[in-house]
Homo-oligomer: A and B are copies of this chain.
Amino acid sequence: MTESRRRPGRPRDTSIDERALAATRELLVGRGFEATTIQAVAEHSGVHASAIYRRWPSRIELIEEATFPGLSPLGVRPTGDLRADVRRFIRAYLAAFNAPAARAAAAGLLAYHQASRRPRPPELDLRVSARPQFEEILRAAPPGSVDPAVDPDDVFDMLLGAVLARTLLLNVTTRQRPVDRTVEMVLRLLRPLGTGAATTPDA
């Protein structure tokens, strides 16, 4: 079905894509996940429903592309300052998950994927696409500041969980700890044995 989106000899009108995606984000924020149907997107964007279905098999794929488009929001270039790079990376991740349309869509998409057991949650895309950037940050760090024995995947999973907990759980509570606490926890996970190099003075 997705193959039809790349049919040769049929140039894709990207402005139609953009209009549908923008309308999807507006509907998510304005009316919520359930109301963001293909028909509503068609009416809101002026793009015919048939043209939308030609591009996305269902509203789920449309909403995912509109809210979690993958790599681009996390374009964090490593500077070699591990603490600063990790902080910017976490902030970029949080910003992607906290964008109004993403927040409006996240729980609905999770509910859909939990019910359907389809193997591709939107967060997974963001995760797979962001992991190489995280590894770049580690490679750019000064020698000796990252324990070579630690598996970057393990640290990345902890980081992802912290971002998820912040965006899914803590948004609806009054208790929100500073992002720098999470930065320090990630640095603690990375620091080599027997050194205090990557730690913070405050407790």
Chain A residues at the B interface, C-beta cutoff of 8 Å: 32-33, 103-104, 106-108, 110-111, 113-115, 117-121, 123-124, 127, 149-151, 153-155, 157-158, 160-166, 168-169, 171-174, 177, 181-182, 184-185, 188-189, 193-196, 199, 203
With the chains together, A121 CA to B107 CA distance in Å? Answer: 13
Chain B residues near A181 (CB-CB < 8 A): 151, 154, 157
Tell me the number of copies of this protein.
2
Known A-B contacts A111-B107, A124-B169, A154-B184; A119 and B160 likewise in contact (beta carbons under 8 Å): no
Q: Are the CB atoms of B158 and A185 closer together than 8 Å?
A: yes
Q: Contacting A168 at CB < 8 Å: which of B157, B164, B189, B194? A: B164
Complex interface: chain B residues within 8 A of A172 (CB): 113-114, 117-121, 124
Bound form: Cα–Cα A118–B193 in Å: 43
